């Protein structure tokens, strides 16, 4: 959906105002701007939980998943780009393309799935922002009280803290949407720099014994760890919200050569994401023992929050939680826009089909109340954040990003030329594994 692009709007707009460069064989400034935009769309709060999940199995399964996620990311986003470009309509977004190829009913199903791509992530971030701020108030600011024997709790009760934080974020998006999206589009790049510096800062704390061959798990454990890590990897490397707009701009500028140009940009984006995200993951994992990673998971906090609470470092204790809060809030704003527009668009289409009028002001208020109350309820329950990513966020993204374009490849005549490639089988297999990882968890 071309309106769901979040952290990169200002960069893209700047890129589109540059002089026209229509030679698909050359890499230009607009290509670099798009690579940065797609990179910024993917980098968010998801990577703050990836080291915990990816590090649970140890160093060697992490090496294997690193080899997988590069081609997974590139081939899946390339498939979605091809799918968008297969439309006869010049300005069609993903939902329009689905309707064109598979009919209105299918477009309604995909529209609902798109809402469920963003909505569970809001639930995840509602819980994670509460945990992060609560931990910061207790561990860094010392706002604690002792009750029930020796149990230490925050001065602000969880129900109130979560309600205030979630209501504040929803109201900001309701009242100042364009301003907040513009601010968060600028925040992503300082965030990247700080996370990169933190990755380097942690190098002296690396535990090289993790690389010992004695720590290689047995075959069954090795592949089960990889299987359960796939949804979180898909979640963390996902930049599909920007693909519609990206594909449409390539078609406008390069016509029949649009896919050739898109390939180059996607390759650069994937390489940058792989280098940055996995360096951060490895640096965090190598700095923590397996017991610490398990403790971080049990505390249901991001890796930055855990590092801030466990490291005797002023730099990490101060900046870790602040970076986590900024990352979670900026990601929340972007995904809120996608979820809000998804559910609103679905409701409005239903009213239009019945030739009924709807008061948009009243509809917006009801959607906002629904968002606040449902996100607040999950924050109070405080379920496992990694568990929600594994069971909701990652699998739904994989279904739309990996499986839907591959299904279209073998059903839509306009995509016939892309059939028969080994990369298609690879994407299908990885998509199926990512969407079915929850089954392993349930059966196990």
DSSP code per residue over 351-367? HHHTT----HHHHHHHH
* Position 46 pLDDT exceeds 50: yes
**Residue 396 resides in a domain:** yes
**Residue 52 resides in a domain:** yes
Domain count, the chain: 1
Residue 378 burial (C-beta neighbours within 10 Å; 0-12, 13-18, 19+): buried
- Domain encompassing residue 100: 9-21+28-443
Contact 161, 130 (CB under 8 A): yes
**Residue 350 resides in a domain:** yes
pLDDT in tens, 286-301: 998 888 999 999 989 8
- pTM given for the model: 0.83
pLDDT in tens, 235-275: 999 988 888 889 989 998 888 899 999 999 999 999 999 99
Q: State the first-to-last Cα distance of the chain, in angstroms, to the nearest integer.
A: 36
Domain of 347: which CATH number? 1.20.1740.10
What is the pLDDT at residue 23? 63
**Residue 4 resides in a domain:** no
**Residue 2 resides in a domain:** no
Residue 161 banded pLDDT, cuts 50, 70, 90: very high
pLDDT in tens, 191-234: 888 889 989 999 998 988 777 777 777 888 888 889 889 999 99
What is the pLDDT at residue 108? 79
Q: How far is CA 75 from CA 66, 71, 222, in A?
A: 15, 6, 24
d(CA 48, CA 44): 8
């Amino acid at each position: 959906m071309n309106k769901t692009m979040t952290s990169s709007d200002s960069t893209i707009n700047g890129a589109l105002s540059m002089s026209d460069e229509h030679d698909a064989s050359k890499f230009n400034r607009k290509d670099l701007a798009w690579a940065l935009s797609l990179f910024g769309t993917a980098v968010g709060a998801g990577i703050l939980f990836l080291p915990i999940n990816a590090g649970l199995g140890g160093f060697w399964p992490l090496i294997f998943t690193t080899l997988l996620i590069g081609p997974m990311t590139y081939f899946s986003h390339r498939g979605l780009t091809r799918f968008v470009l297969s439309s006869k309509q010049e300005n069609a977004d993903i939902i329009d393309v689905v309707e064109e190829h598979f009919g209105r009913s299918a477009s309604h199903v995909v529209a609902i799935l798109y809402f469920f791509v963003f909505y569970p992530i809001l639930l995840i971030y509602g819980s994670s922002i509460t945990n992060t701020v609560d931990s910061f108030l207790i561990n860094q600011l010392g706002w604690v009280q002792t009750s029930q024997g020796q149990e230490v709790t925050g001065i602000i009760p969880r129900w109130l803290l979560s309600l205030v934080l979630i209501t504040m974020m929803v109201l900001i998006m309701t009242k100042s949407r364009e301003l907040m999206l513009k601010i968060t589009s600028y925040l992503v790049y300082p965030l990247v720099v700080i996370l990169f510096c933190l990755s380097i800062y942690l190098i002296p704390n690396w535990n090289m014994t993790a690389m010992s061959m004695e720590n290689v798990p047995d075959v069954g454990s090795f592949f089960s760890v990889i299987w359960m890590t796939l949804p979180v990897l898909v979640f963390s490397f996902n930049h599909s919200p920007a693909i519609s707009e990206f594909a449409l701009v390539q078609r406008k500028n390069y016509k029949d050569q649009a896919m050739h140009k898109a390939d180059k940009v996607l390759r650069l984006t994937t390489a940058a994401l792989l280098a940055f995200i996995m360096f951060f993951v490895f640096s965090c994992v190598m700095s923590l023992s397996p017991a610490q990673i398990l403790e971080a998971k049990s505390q249901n906090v991001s890796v930055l929050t855990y590092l801030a609470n466990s490291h005797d470092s002023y730099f990490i204790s101060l900046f870790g939680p602040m970076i986590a809060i900024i990352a979670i809030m900026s990601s929340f704003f972007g995904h809120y826009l996608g979820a809000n527009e998804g559910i609103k668009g679905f409701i409005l289409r239903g009213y239009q089909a019945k030739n009924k009028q709807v008061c948009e002001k009243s509809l917006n208020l009801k959607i906002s109340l629904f968002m606040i109350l449902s996100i607040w309820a999950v924050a109070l329950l405080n379920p496992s954040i990694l568990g929600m990513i594994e069971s909701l966020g990652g699998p739904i993204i994989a279904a739309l990003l990996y499986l839907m374009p591959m299904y279209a490849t073998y059903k839509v005549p306009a995509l016939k030329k892309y059939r028969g490639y080994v990369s298609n089988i690879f994407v299908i297999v990885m998509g199926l594994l990512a969407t079915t990882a929850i089954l392993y968890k349930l059966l196990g």
